[in-house]
Amino acid sequence: MIRLQVANFALRDVTPGSEGPLLPPAGRLFTIVILCLSSALCVLASVSPSFADDALPVSGRLDLRGVEALDRDSVKEDPSLEGRIKLDTAGPEWRFHSWLEGGLDGSVKRPARDHSLLKNYDEVYQSNTPYLEFKELYVTRSAGDLDLRAGIQRFAWGRLDEYPPNDRLNPWDYTQFLRKPLEDRKIGVPSFSATLNEGDWTYDAVLVPVFVPYRLPLPDERWAGSSIASMIAQTLPNATITPQEPDLPGRKPGNSNAGLRMKRVGDIEWALDLFHGYDPKPVFRTTALSINPRGGAFVVDPGYVPDFHKIDVIGMDAAAVRGDLSIRAEAAYTFHRYLNIRRELWGYPAVPAPGVLPLNPIIEQKHDTLDYGIGADYRLFEDGLLTFQAQQTLTLGDVDLLYERKVETILWANLKAGFMNQKIETNLNLAYNPEHGDRMTRANAWYVFSDTWKAGVSYAAFTGPAQSLFGRFSRNDQVEGEFVFAW
Amino acid sequence: MNKQYNVQSTKYKANQSCPLLTPDPGRPIPNQRSGKPMLFALSCTLYSVLCTMLFAPPAFSMNGREVYEKVHEVRSRALDRETEATMILFDKGGGKRTRTLTEYSKKADPEAYKVLVVFKSPPDLKNVGFLIHAHTFSDRDLWAYFPEYKRIRRIPNSSQDDSFFGSDFSYDDFGGPPNLDDYKFSIEKEEVIDGKPCYVVEVTPKIYRKYTKYIAWVAKDLWIHVKIEYYQDKDLYRTGAFTDIRIIDGIPTPFRIDMENKKTNHRTELTIGSIRYHTHFPDDLFSQRSLERAGK
């Protein structure tokens, strides 16, 4: 594994056509060190007798998937074969956990410029197939009421589904955005965490010393959705659009992400959440639109680059059971969040032409926002759980130039039902944004053949304006078939 | 359920009318003023006593509530334990699925009990956990943990009779004993099952449950269920058989439980691989932290 990673990084340097800024050598070295250490931990854990309290428990799954796009103009997708292997060992004081994922990703249309196999923490655009990624890889040391953990971790703070506003520690992978559930969208981050349990109280502290950017799909991929790049692609069908890789914030202690959480268990469970660090929500700055004729085609730099800003968040969440309802609520106040103004104000021409065109240099605005929401589970019938949730974002200050309204609402409803003693599992998910009238419908049904085999069919449909949350994927209606083998 | 019971039944017909009290139309009713009123009254009293002795419901040595107090006591003693179990789910088409799990439980003071159940297989359920904090025998907090989501969800008590992760057991079957005040008990008869003399007790909930009553065969010498039938009104919908009963640390323990849903013809066989009593687990084991760590 270590040899493989070194080979990957070496390959990146010599790959012809490598474009975009690379991290400074110190940053890249840091990433290599993190990944090498992680792999060494993995090897150590599997051979060390101190971990081997139980037999080495390894589990995994293979997932074969095919997507049929329902919209004729939609980007097509090849079949995917992805797998994951989990390894857990536990001793009295030390525990080790690893979750490695990888395979052939049919949504990738052209490999990202570095062709690396192992996903890294240095790039926003890194669509690759085949690929490998450590979703989680950490070691835990327990001492009494204290748990100390180091490695690649994913966290789940807050209580709401889909968009928990206090859940900021893991950036998201948007390459298959609304196709994947929240937990699969999260990118594991190299981090240290400490958890102290004192009776009904639990205190969590997290430090993410290595900045990890979110991941975006390349413009010609299925889940890129409606964007400036897709508009250019419509006008210039034979263009190769390659967005610029951003300069990431320097990897120094001052640029760490950190979070504190204090939770109390009781009749009403509640928690106070604090976060300081980079906003995991994508926002862009502009450079210049560049269209270069090359042969009979065009090479396009769309002129917008992912940008990163620090935010501070203070939030609360709570959960309680009242009668037949399991209720949860959450609120978070975010200081100094940057939001993009409407796309039509970015300075793009109606008809792009070859050359270099400067764009509006100020497309970001700083606002404070308040996110809040409430959700509940209701047992509709045996093995039938209805979940509904209402969530709003209030943007403070003048929002005239933003696409977002002063108040943005997302209403969710989800019906999860099992039949034949859970041999058939179904899920119907509806989401609606009343401010823009965009909505999403997702449905899936799984048939469990045995403990190891199951097959499922999914359907997804999106409607709404091009810049809205769900409407930007209005050409992504699809039916998907999936076979899963798990062991 | 394949188990064949060897049942010897002692039948009683309660409320059967007494022929000696039925007036004979051909016989004149004695006139109390005939000069022999005392003799007539005495005769009636003797007849009544005789009829009561012969035809009234049997006088059991204990009533239904007392039987269940014994059951409650045994189940409470069995609460301090660690169990490794396998559930095999059989559908009517012959397909089967297997779930293995570890259950930890303890008596809790001042609370009633705490239970933690962690699945070890199948892969989809691995490390999924279920935690109960019973403040009293009728007031419980329930949580479930799904490692893929890394989230603990609270579950309303209304789910207690629902299928436990696709099996024919309910969430309630994995809890401790119930609050006896929430039920009415009456002994119906006595039967011998597999050589074990049993009280057959009809148990009717006073609170809303998925079933309207259940009939339980309680072994007289062990005070545990050996057979149970759940009814929705008059319809039998779930049956259970408790076999391979062994005495572990003085506690009678069925090592095999077969539960069958009569409406769906789906059945679940639960077998205990190992069990330890008097474990005296620390409270830490029954915390949300422990739920997230699969009890480790």
By percentage, how much of chain B surpasses pLDDT 90? 60
pLDDT, greater one: A399 or B53: A399
Lowest mean pLDDT among A117-131, B23-37, B217-231: B23-37
Res A352: pLDDT: 87
Interface probe with A: pick from B289, B291, B292, B293, most Cβ of A within 10 Å = B289
pLDDT, greater one: A378 or A41: A378
Say which DSSP state A341 is in.
B
Cβ <8 Å between B266 and A154: no
CB < 8 Å to A59, chain B: 123, 126
Interface probe with B: pick from A142, A269, A325, A451, most Cβ of B within 10 Å = A451
pLDDT, greater one: A191 or B38: A191
What's the mean pLDDT in B250-271?
96
How many C-alpha atoms does B131 have within 13 Å on its Cβ side?
Answer: 23
Q: Provide DSSP, A349-391.
A: -SS--SEEEE--S--EEEEEEEEEEEEEEEEEETTEEEEEEEE
- Report whether pLDDT(B33) > 80: no
- Report whether pLDDT(A31) > 70: no
pLDDT, greater one: B15 or A402: A402
Letter string b/e over residues A232-242, b meaning 16 or more CB atoms within 10 A of that residue's CB: bbeebeebebb
Query: In sequence order, which residues have a C-beta less than 8 Å from that of residue A304 and are 6 or more positions away?
Result: A228, A243, A284, A285, A286, A287, A346, A359, A363
What's the mean pLDDT in B27-53?
54
Cβ <8 Å between B162 and A379: yes
In 3D space, the residue among A78, A70, A132, A68 whose CA is nearest the CA of residue A110 turns out to be A78
By percentage, how much of chain A surpasses pLDDT 90? 72
Helix (H) or strand (E) holding A138: strand A131-143
3-state secondary structure string across A149-208: EEEEECCCCCCCCCCCCCCCCCCEECCCHHHCCHHHHECCEEEEEEEEEECCEEEEEEEE
Res B51: pLDDT: 53
Residue A355 confidence class, pLDDT cut points 50, 70, 90: very high
Tokens 């303890």 locate to B106
What's the mean pLDDT in B196-208?
94
Q: Provide DSSP, B14-28.
A: TT---GGGSPPTTSP
Say which DSSP state B159 is in.
G
Helices (H) and strands (E) in chain A, counts: 4, 24
Query: In sequence order, which residues have a C-beta less than 8 Å from that of residue B43 and are 6 or more positions away?
Result: none
CA A270 and chain centroid, separation: 26
What's the mean pLDDT in A328-355?
94
- Report whether pLDDT(B28) > 80: no
pLDDT tens-digit profile of A428-481?
999 999 999 999 999 999 999 999 999 999 999 999 999 999 999 999 999 999
pLDDT tens-digit profile of A34-77?
555 555 555 554 444 444 444 468 899 999 999 999 988 888 89
Residue B31 confidence class, pLDDT cut points 50, 70, 90: very low
- Report whether pLDDT(A313) > 90: yes
The C-alpha R_g of chain B, in whole angstroms, comes to 25
Ranges A63-77, A443-457, B23-37, B281-295, most confident: A443-457
Q: Is A292 on the interface with B (CB under 8 A)?
A: no
pTM reported for the whole predicted model? 0.83
Residue A141 confidence class, pLDDT cut points 50, 70, 90: very high
Ranges A1-10, A64-73, A125-134, A437-446, most confident: A437-446
Q: Positive or negative, the Cα torsion across B104, B107, B108, B112?
A: positive
First-to-last C-alpha distance (Å) of chain B = 36
Cβ <8 Å between A156 and B155: no
Lowest mean pLDDT among A131-140, A224-233, A376-385: A224-233
Residue B42 confidence class, pLDDT cut points 50, 70, 90: low
In 3D space, the residue among A68, A115, A77, A120 whose CA is nearest the CA of residue A221 turns out to be A77
Res B47: pLDDT: 61
Residue A400 confidence class, pLDDT cut points 50, 70, 90: very high
Say which DSSP state B123 is in.
G
- Report whether pLDDT(B240) > 90: yes
Res B55: pLDDT: 54
Residue A230 confidence class, pLDDT cut points 50, 70, 90: confident
Res B24: pLDDT: 40
Lowest mean pLDDT among A180-189, A354-363, A424-433, B103-112: B103-112
Asked if the peptide bond before residue A302 counts as cis, ω within 30 degrees of 0, the response is no
Residue A8 confidence class, pLDDT cut points 50, 70, 90: very low
Which residues numbered 165-204 in A keep a CB inside 8 Å of some CB on B?
Answer: 182-183, 195, 197, 202
ipTM over cut 0.85: no
CB A416 within 8 A of CB A427: yes
**For residues A480 and A474, what is the distance between their CA atoms, to the nearest angstrom?**
16
Residue among A202, A326, A486 minimizing CB distance to B289: A202
CB pairs under 8 A between A and B: 91
Name the minimum distance, in Å, from the CA of A234 to any CA of chain B: 39
Backbone angles phi, psi at B55, to 5 degrees: -120, -5
- Report whether pLDDT(B148) > 90: no
